[in-house]
Structure 1
Amino acid sequence: MGQGVTSVARFAAATALASSLAFLLAGPGFAQGKPSAGGKPAAGAAAPAKPQDRMVVDARELVYDNDKKTVAAVGDVQILYQGRTIEADKVIYDQANKRVTAIGNARITESNGSVITGDRFNLTDDFRDGFIDSLRVVNPDKTRFSAPRAERTDGETFVFDKGIYTACEPCKDNPERPPLWQVRAARIIHKKSEQTIYYEDARVEFAGIPMAYIPYMSGPDSTVKRKTGFLAPKFINTSSLGFGVGLPYFLNLAPNYDLTLTPTFLTRQGVLGQVEWRHRLLNGSYTIRASGIFQQDKGAFLASPLGPGDDSFRGSVETTGKFYINPRWTVGWNAAMSTDRWFYKNYRILNESFSNTTYLQESISTAYLNGQSPTAWFDLRGYYFQPLNYQDWQKQQPVVLPVLDYDKRIHKPSFLGGELEFNVNVTSLTRDTAAFTQLPVQKNYLITGSGYSLYDGCAVYDKNNCLVRGLAGNVSRATAQVSWRRNIIDPIGQIWTPYASLRADVFAINPDTSGIINSRVATIADSSDEVFGRVMPAIGLMYRYPFVAKTDWGTHIIEPVAQIVARPNETNSLRVANEDSQSLVFDANNLFEWQGKFSGYDRVEGGTRANVGALYTGRFGKEAYANLLVGQSFQLGGRNSYATGDLLNTGLDSGLQTDSSDIVARAQISPMKGFFLTGATRLNSTTFEAQRIDAAATYSTGVVTASVGYARYEPQPDLGIPRRREGLSLNGSLLVTPNWRVRAGVLFDLDKYKYDRELWRNAYAAALAASTAIPAYPTTGPFQTASTSLGINYTDECTVFDISYSQSYADRQAGATKDTRTVMFRLELRTLGEISYSQNLGGTSTGDGVGGSN
């Protein structure tokens, strides 16, 4: 005969641990006492359990059945035990069978945050094993399982019959709608001890539609960060390689090191082997990657020297590392080597040492030792360059070892005030073969059949006709400089900055004077081993006087700036092998540089020079602002270093070669939040014609991102650039929905049509000379496309989908013969993995070393 007891208030088992209710869902180590009338503990009851084993039961009603030996907690039941919480409308404990049955809105919250819900739980009294009907599991990482029925055994294995797994959250408006993707399987087995989930007879569904069938698969659960097993496959398809599938296998050898083996099976070339070793130590980490293949069809590639068609084995080795000697000092490296310049691109090998532009690529290997403090910086490193495009020659690439830089600043030295700075640089490099360039000379079309021809006068170096981009042999330089400057503000707000420096350079040149021009040997006349030095003192003063004005529509600061620096003439400019000062761009950014406008140490500004300008800064409201700078540079005395070209003519055609330089200007304007206008220009000081223009406009919100870029650079014939360069880029993206974004971009070569017409004139002259048919005049306009790209992206909490198309049009001037068109696809399913695929369409340029289409 059953007996019922109703509590007036919520019942807490913690206040009656030895009562007849104490065995309700009791686990190991819980003290049980025999119940007595009225629910009072019997005399001699066991001592309470430890706090971590204590069970707390909260319910509206308790129902005892002495015949069946059951106790039922009814109404808003909540049980807390060993970090777990069970909730239900009704919980029944069967003492004889030691089973717990939870009925109605049943819910278990595990100690790790996982939430298990179902219509009915039938579990052992320690919650470890049992059956659950209409199961739903939500893990802390928001992955989800569901099944009509599931079994839990050994406290760690879940078996979901007709189970469903997904990492997607349910639709808020319609929770019953299938998620974006899910895995539906005959059985899903989750073994916690193995941290692995197994799927049997599985199919992957998108929006409820089956898309792929997988008889058997497995993967780590949400608690795993590293686990041995297969990673997501990689796919590739090109005409030179065929169709390929890469199957990465990850070996978790230890918590701090692992190995990944990736065999890629290619239908045309065989098996490409790849291995990656990663190792993390207490003070840093390093990686080693190696790739290699014995090509089965060498005929897919062009023969040497245009391609790797003569090579049976091709491969690469790459390594990176960084270690912390102490909080201030690090040592590291990033190095890569390949058997040929085309390997990385042909076989889609990742190379972190890439330096990539539209047409020119190279692999840069370096090793370094670096130290930093709040007032000092030290860097020692070496470089090795491997060209990856067909224009460059390996023997003309320098091996740079070492490059040492040391900077030290002392703030407010007691005897001077201001700031004292020490700089040291040591650079040494070797090169097997000198790099020569002939200056192109304008010729008559009808006489030569060519708009420009190479001046045939560099068999022996002639400064007026030849450029030397790099000497062969060994070139070394050591530089040391000490400089001081101080800001002084007078009573009326004027800012005076005196400056002084002393610099010394020592050069050691041991040249091999021969180089290659047009497949023949050229030499540098009158060049021999020599050691020489250079000393360059300088004194200077900068003056600034900001004027501030406030109006109803903003705050304005107008600041005139004037700077004068006096130095003796630069010496030995033609003897210096200019290696690090070849790039000289005179603009508003370096107008007031104390060290001059040269980009490196090999060249130094000489003479007395004044730089003047005016700076405007305006603030309008909370978001809008404007910043403008305009200025000019003047050679006041001594020899103008920018009018005295070196072996490479650096300085000529820079806008600084005359006593009154070109005018430079820079502007930054933001009329509203997210909208930016930037521009820079260099204007001829006499005609005010633009010699250089860089302009861009960007607009960005959460929905729309757009940018327009324009650049135009006038010819620099003294530097070997006879034609104007002009381009326009348009890029944008649009958030169509909260998850979908489309993007597009195009780059126009606005100068290409001139080159096409120049080629026509050459062909026209040749046709007249040969009395053949006159070619058709090109009708293309200035908007010649250089590259285009399109893309669509979908991103949500569980999925990333991206597909893109890009096309790079052949640059005939650089030697390319065919356009490059590529389609790339990537699908990432959170927790399951990522699938990527790329496909080249149509032809590729001969610069890839590929024969035929790819």
Structure 2
Amino acid sequence: MPKTVEFMTRQRRPVLLAMVPLWLGLTGAAALAQTVATLAPTPPASAPAQATEDENAPAMLVADRVFISPGHKLVAEGNVEVFQGDIRLQANRIVYDRQNGMLNLEGPIRIDQSGAITVLADTAELDNGLRDGILRGARLVFDQQVQLAALQMTRVEGRYSQLYKTSVTSCDVCDDGRPPLWQIRAERITHDEQERQLYLENAQLRIRDVPVFYFPALRLPDPTLNRASGFLIPSLSSSSNLGFGFKLPYFVTIGPHRDLTITPYLSADTTTLDLRYRQAFRNGQIEISGAFSRDDIQPDDGRGYLFASGRFDIQRGFRLSFDLRTVSDDAYLADYDISDTDRLRSDVTLSRARRDQLIQIAAYNYKTLRDTENQDFVPATILTGTFEQRLFPKRIGGELRLRLNATQFNRASSLDATATEANGRDVTRVSADITWLRSWILPGGVETTWTAGIGLDSFALSDDAAFDNEANRVTPKTALTFRRPMARQTASGATQILEPILQLGWTKVNGDDVPNESSNISEFDQGNLLALSRFPEADAREDGRSLVYGVHFSHFDPSGWEATGIVAQVLRSDSQDGFTSSSGLDGQNSNILVAGQIGLRNNLTLTARGLFDEEWSVSKAEFRGDISRDRLTLAGSYLWLQADAEEDRDSETSELWFDGSYALTPAWEAGASMRYDITDGRATRAGIGLTYRNECVTLDLSVSRRYTSTTSVEPSTDFGFTLSLNGFSVKSGTTTSRRSCSTT
């Protein structure tokens, strides 16, 4: 019972008229305050402190008139409102009979608690504790969406609300008598406020008032409950590989921090059990997913997959993460449309990243799913450790960078490598790089950076007769970089920046020849333009003198659009081996790099990069565009690569990809995606989808086609259908349209 009760009247009148007699008024007001506290749902066991706080909070009664009737009943009438904590009660008239402890409320009656649950009724007769009573013409509304409407609602023991002849829906209900899009009709519904569960008896699911399903008994979590065991949204699918199928996920809560999702998948050609386990810890989380199948594709074998991932924040700022993957056969992931990957990578990583320091230790395992690869020749196990540190010595100034790296590649085979194949070669490498940088501003505004350093590499090799079992290298390096940014303001107010770039570099590789294990494929872009070695790892290093020249341009327009671009090239004193022909870095001089980006104010971004030889023939080109408007979201890319046998590409590759969606109406949205091989003149994957979403239902229809095939994977077509009733299903966070009663 509240400790403090306040009376207020909306009209200016003597205080005594609103408080006579004082002792009777206090008794009645206490009951009114208790009305709000008791009718509201009992908070969950996880929040007892909040419940106690609300019950002990002061209550305030506001009404046009408060008086004592001749029968010694306390009467509040005319826009009556009672406030206590986050609870608000509204009624037209409240009468409290102290002799029998009964409250009579005349409506319209409305009780709100934090916007989560609202009780509406025409009239109500309740005891002074509101543990028992009857509400007529009642409605129970959850999250301002799901509503339970009944002729009568009975309060039992202060915990249960029983509604009779009830309709449940999250659709807007119009006053013209038309039925909602969907509803559940039940003879009786019991709402357990403590467990936050709804129990339905003799329930019918109706679509436009046409019975579709009958349930003798049905339990649903009320929409205020975030997690509860039960069935999730079912889905229908049809696949050319697996036939027509049905999935019905069941969600199991295992305490407050764990859950398990069990999904049986039944179709004409497969019986599959899919599992997903999740657990949250104080310092991290894990997720394990997998499936076991018996199907007609490989009828003699059980098939399946298992993925496990997690991360943990441990002491001293370190993070431990893992991602483990295995599968029964090469085709399973593609057959069941789980993933298009052709190699499985598992890893365990321990890392810590600070402003001036990086520590990382990792173990990787690779499993090939390609028909053309032999697992024994794949470096299945890779161990690596990296330490990076930035220092700022005061005596010499500038910045000192230290990098230590150790890497080991292990293959299952013991077959010696050949001139073109690694076969069973194993490699262990330890590298150290020390680099010092210092910058000055020369007269005329020229920014100058001097870089000097040394790289040390030590190798241990086995199963490769072409190289010594042990090898060492020492690579000194230095470079001088000049920049001269120039800015101007145009007549329209735009800012333009032109920055010529020039770098003179020198490196000298001293030591033994070693195989290129992890730097077989290199990219030439803005990120490594000024690097003294553009190989991704220290297996290979560039050698000799180099000159980099280029110009960078930026435009920033006051209307909101901007553009950046760069043109650059690397010139060398000697031809550089180790780069593929399509990388743009092979030979004595690199290809000319041309790259740029335009960002328009209508949320359109265009990015392009191309490599051109000295005759301006294209060796590599890529283009990407992204746009996000009110109704349109679209992302697409185009890629062209020349033929390159060193990158296992016997012919040129030209590919187009896009993925987008368009809102046809506030409720209907269409989506499409495609990956198209222009060289072969056919799509590799395509899909379309249609979604209808309003305040009470979401409908998803989709069809996709995978055109690629291997000796173990056939092309397949998949159809999908999902229908969810909004209000009880998982919230997606997507804005939904609400239908108008005048148009639906």
Normalising by the residue count of structure 1, what TM-score does the alignment of the two structures yield?
0.75
Alpha-carbon contact 2:560-2:601 (below 8 Å) kept:
yes
Query: What's the CA shift string for 1:440-459, capped at 9, x where partnerless?
Result: xxxxxxxxxxxxxxxxxxxx
Unaligned runs of 5+ in 2: 1-9, 35-53, 733-744
Q: Distance in 2 between matches of 1:550 and 1:117?
A: 64
Q: Please give the alpha-carbon distance, in whole angstroms, between the structure 2 residues aligned to 1:784 and 1:292.
A: 33
Structure 1 residue 176, shift from structure 2 partner? 7.2
List aligned pairs for 1:137-216, cutoff 5 A. 137-140=140-143, 142-168=145-171, 180-206=181-207, 210-216=211-217
Correspondent of 1:803 among 690, 701, 714: 701
Amino acid at match of 2:561: A
Matched position secondary structure for 1:737: coil
Structure 2 residue 398 is matched with structure 1 residue 418 = yes
**1:28 to partner: Cα distance:** 11
Correspondences of 1:81-96 after superposition (within 5 Å): 84-96=87-99
Aligned to 2:48: none
Counterpart of 1:286 in structure 2: which amino acid?
Answer: I
Distance of 2:510 and 2:179 partners within structure 1: 76
Task: Indicate the SS of the match to 1:604.
Answer: coil
Is the CA contact 2:235–2:723 (under 8 Å) kept in the aligned structure 1? no
1:655 and 2:590 aligned? no
Partner of 2:723: 827
Structure 1 counterpart of 2:559, one-letter code: K
Query: Could you report, residue by residue, the CA deviation over 1:323-348 in whole angstroms, capped at 9, with x for unpaired residues?
Result: 21126111121112233233344456
2:356 is aligned to 375
Partners in 2 of 1:12 and 1:178 — Cα distance?
A: 52
1:570 and 1:605 in contact (8 A); partners too: no
The 8 Å contact of residues 706 and 717 in structure 2, kept in 1 or not, is answered as yes
Partners of 1:397 and 1:254 in 2: how far apart? 43
Q: 8 Å contact 1:731–1:745 — kept in the other structure?
A: yes
Deviation at 1:793, TM superposition (A): 2.4
Distance 1:745 1:377 in 2: 39
Counterpart Cα distance in 2 of 1:274 and 1:700: 35
Aligned to 1:278: 278
Matched residue, 2:607 = 678
Contact 1:26 1:125 in 2 (8 A): no
State the partner residue of 1:256. 257
The one-letter amino acid paired with 1:365 is: S
Q: Could you tell me which amino acid in structure 2 is paired with residue 253 of structure 1? A: I
State the shift of 1:476 in Å. Answer: 0.9
Larger mean CA deviation between 322-331 and 704-713 belongs to 704-713
> Residues 638-653 of structure 1: matches in 2 within 5 Å?
639-641=574-576, 644-645=577-578, 650-653=579-582
Paired position in structure 1 for 2:674: 746
Question: Residue 550 of structure 2 corresponds to which residue in structure 1?
Answer: 613
**Which residue of 2 is the match for residue 533 of structure 1?**
472
Instruction: State how far apart, in whole Å, the 2-side matches of 1:284 and 1:707 are.
Output: 33
1:743-822 matches, within 5 Å, as 743-752=671-680, 783-796=681-694, 798-810=696-708, 819-822=715-718
Alignment check: 8 A CA contact 2:238 2:719 kept: no
User: Partner of 1:695 in structure 2?
Assistant: 623
Q: Offset of 1:162 from its aligned partner?
A: 2.3
Structure 2 distance, partners of 1:680, 1:704, is 25
Q: What residue number does 2:481 align with?
A: 542
Aligned partners of 2:240, 2:639: CA distance in 1, in Å? 37
For the pair 1:330 / 2:258, whether they are aligned, the reply is: no
Change (3 A) 1:319 1:10: farther
Deviation, 1:121, is 1.3
How many Å separate the matches in 1 of 2:191 and 2:183? 16
**Candidates 305, 320, 323, aligned match of 2:309:** 320
Deviation at 1:690, TM superposition (A): 1.4
**Superposition deviation, residue 244 in structure 1:** 4.8
1:586 matched residue in structure 2: 524
Greater mean alpha carbon deviation, residues 654-663 or residues 398-407? 654-663
Q: Does structure 1 residue 222 correspond to structure 2 residue 249? A: no
Give the secondary structure class of the aligned counterpart of 2:406.
Answer: strand
Q: Which amino acid aligns with 2:721?
A: F
**Hey, what does 1:292 align to over in structure 2?**
292
Matched, 1:666 2:647: no
1:336-355 superposed matches below 5 A: 336-347=325-336
CA contact (8 A) 1:385 1:397 kept: yes
Range with bigger deviation, 391-400 or 558-567: 391-400
- Identical counterparts, % of pairs: 24
Tell me, yes or no, if the aligned pair for 2:257 and 2:280 is still in contact at 8 Å: yes
**In the alignment, what sits opposite 1:492?**
444
What do residues 779-804 of structure 1 show as CA deviations (whole Å, max 9, x unaligned)?
xxxx5433322122234455443222
Deviation at 1:588, TM superposition (A): 4.3
Aligned pair partner of 2:664 in 722, 732, 736: 736
Structure 2 partner of 1:846: none
| Equivalent position to 2:27, from 23, 48, 52 | 23
- Provide the secondary structure at the position in 2 that maps to 1:580: coil
* Contact 2:318/2:351 (8 A) holds in 1: yes
For the pair 1:361 / 2:342, whether they are aligned, the reply is yes
- Supply the AA of the counterpart residue of 1:366: D
Q: Quick one: structure 1 residues 652 and 145, their matched pair in 2 at CA, closer, same or farther if it must change by over 3 Å?
A: same
Cα offset, 1:169, TM superposition: 5.7
> In the aligned structure 2, how far is the partner of 1:743 from the partner of 1:472?
47
| Residues 148 and 163 in structure 1, CA contact (< 8 A), matched pair in contact too | yes
Amino acid at match of 2:590: S
Contact 1:493 1:545 in 2 (8 A): yes
* Greater displacement, 420-429 / 135-144: 135-144
| CA distance in 2: counterparts of 1:388 and 1:801, whole angstroms | 35
Distance between the aligned counterparts of 2:14 and 2:695, measured in 1?
41
Q: Distance in 2 between matches of 1:78 and 1:586?
A: 71
Q: Residues 528, 479 of structure 1: CA spacing in aligned structure 2 closer, same or farther, 3 A cutoff?
A: closer
Residue 429 of structure 2 aligns to which amino acid in structure 1? R
Q: In structure 2, how many angstroms separate the alpha carbons of the residues matched to 1:13 and 1:318?
A: 74
1:494 Cα deviation after fit = 0.5
CA distance in 1, matches of 2:702, 2:121: 43
CA RMSD of superposed structures (Å): 3.5
* 1:640 alignment partner AA: S
Deviation at 1:180, TM superposition (A): 5.0
Matched, 1:551 2:529: no
The 3 A distance-change label for structure 1 pair 556 and 81 is closer
Q: TM-score, normalised by structure 2?
A: 0.85
Specify which of 571, 593, 603 is matched with residue 540 of structure 2.
603
Q: Once structures 1 and 2 are overlaid, which stretch shifts more, 481-490 or 260-269?
A: 260-269
TM-aligned CA deviation for residue 194 of structure 1 = 2.4
Instruction: Say if 1:789 and 1:259 are closer, same or farther in 2 by CA, change over 3 A.
Output: closer
Q: Is the 8 A contact 1:792 1:803 kept in 2?
A: yes
Deviations 1:375-420 (A, max 9, x none): 101110111122334443332332334211111112x321222211
Letter in 1 for 2:500: P
Maintained 8 Å contact 2:136/2:151: yes
Question: Is the 1:588–1:680 contact (alpha carbons within 8 Å) kept by the matching residues of 2?
Answer: no
What residue is the counterpart of 2:735 in the other structure? none
**Structure 1 residues 427, 115: CA separation in 2 closer, same or farther (over 3 Å shift)?**
same
Residue from 449, 458, 475 that aligns with 1:506: 458
Query: Is the CA contact (8 Å cut-off) linking 1:810 and 1:816 kept in structure 2?
Result: no
> Unpaired segments of 5 or more residues in structure 1?
1-5, 31-49, 302-307, 437-459, 514-525, 753-782, 837-854
Q: Which amino acid aligns with 1:533?
A: N
Distance apart, 1:421 and its partner CA:
0.8
